[in-house]
Copies of this chain bind each other. A is one copy, B any other.
Amino acid sequence: MTPTFQRIVLASRPKGAVLPENFRIETASLPELKEGEVLVRNHYLSLDPYMRGRMSEAKSYAASQPLDETMIGGTAGEVVASNNPKFSVGDKVVGMMGWAEMGVDDGRNLRKVDVTHVPLSAYLGAVGMPGMTAWYGLNQIIAPKAGETVVVTAASGAVGSAVGQLAKLRGCRAVGIAGGPEKCAYVVNELGFDACVDYKAGNLKADLLAAAPNGIDGIFENVGGEVFDRALSQTNAFARVALCGLIAGYNGEETALRNTRFLLTNRMTLRGFIVTEHMEFWPQGLAELGMLVGTGKLKYRESVAPNLAAGPEAFIGLLQGRNFGKQLVKLV
């Protein structure tokens, strides 16, 4: 009997909001391991907003996710068979094996990780792509000085939570924006941000003015839309924007910016970025993030879906802000 595993493929492209029927769960056969190949059992699958962009055919920075193929995605797991001298059975590895219980790789897309001080799942979050996204955008684009105010949207999420904590470590005032009092309480009380604005509370302008009384020097933007527009209007001269995501418009919603004049009058710098295009910073950044997580100075929270079949709903929840911290799917 051929060994099999479960995977999730893109069944159709969403028209507007992502729906469960855009995905299909399938049973696939494991191929024979060729010379140099490694078989990995994935323990965790990472769900990230960028996947929404891949589901569309619209021009973006990356190729579209093909229909009927395994959904793209980062994974953390364990080597269960190896024809590659660089990997041994039992090695913990992160990779890009997609929404699947198992996968085969020639080793070039796998990275061994040390789980002595850092949990395996953290390599998909604070010590992985989301953490590096925070690290790069904050350090290489916003580059805040001590005493400056940094605002980050989706502040309780995997990226945003790291942005604010890293900003605090640099001596900044960290202001989060999140949806709902529970997330805001977490951002302030557990993550140590100076303030958090609940954008759902209906008092955005006054609340953001109160949270950033000295104006805004840096915006780490994950969402776009009205909240971003409001933040632009409260910037100081020479403010910087690290434009990381525009999740508010991922389903084609109108996200027009009306306050663009502040980009000029405040002589702002705005830069859109994709952290995987700056791999030269990853060794330094991941070392720092791993140290901070291992010593408890960088906290994170995870929302964990219990199995592969729960992946699509968890992803839809992520796009709607129902997750709380890094959204994972637990496979083992």
Contacts and interface: CB of A to CB of B under 8 A. Distances in A.
Interface string A259-301: 0110111111111111001000000000000000000000000
Contact of A267 (B53, B61, B261): B61
Nearest to A260: B257
Given A246-B261, A266-B272, 12 more contacts: A224-B260, A243-B264, A249-B261, A255-B260, A257-B257, A263-B270, A263-B272, A264-B272, A265-B272, A267-B272, A267-B273, A269-B269
Interface in A170-187: none
B246 A260 contact: yes
Contact of A264 (B237, B246, B260, B267): B246
A245 B273 CA distance: 24
Contact of A268 (B246, B257, B268, B271): B271
A5 B281 CA distance: 63
A258 B256 CA distance: 4
A183 to B, nearest CB: 23
Nearest to A245: B264
A254 interface: yes
29 contacts: A59-B265, A60-B265, A61-B237, A61-B265, A61-B267, A224-B261, A243-B263, A243-B264, A244-B264, A245-B264, A246-B261, A246-B264, A255-B260, A255-B261, A256-B256, A256-B258, A256-B260, A257-B260, A263-B272, A264-B272, A265-B272, A266-B272, A267-B271, A267-B272, A267-B277, A268-B270, A268-B271, A269-B270, A270-B271
A256 B261 CA distance: 9
A199 to B, nearest CB: 18
Contact of A269 (B245, B258, B271): B271
A224 B53 CA distance: 27
Interface string A218-247: 000000100000000000010000011110
Nearest to A141: B269
A264 B52 CA distance: 14
A254 B270 CA distance: 21
A268 B271 CA distance: 6
Contacts of A261: 224, 246, 249, 255
Query: Which of A254, A255, A263 is packed against the most chain B CB atoms within 10 Å?
Result: A263
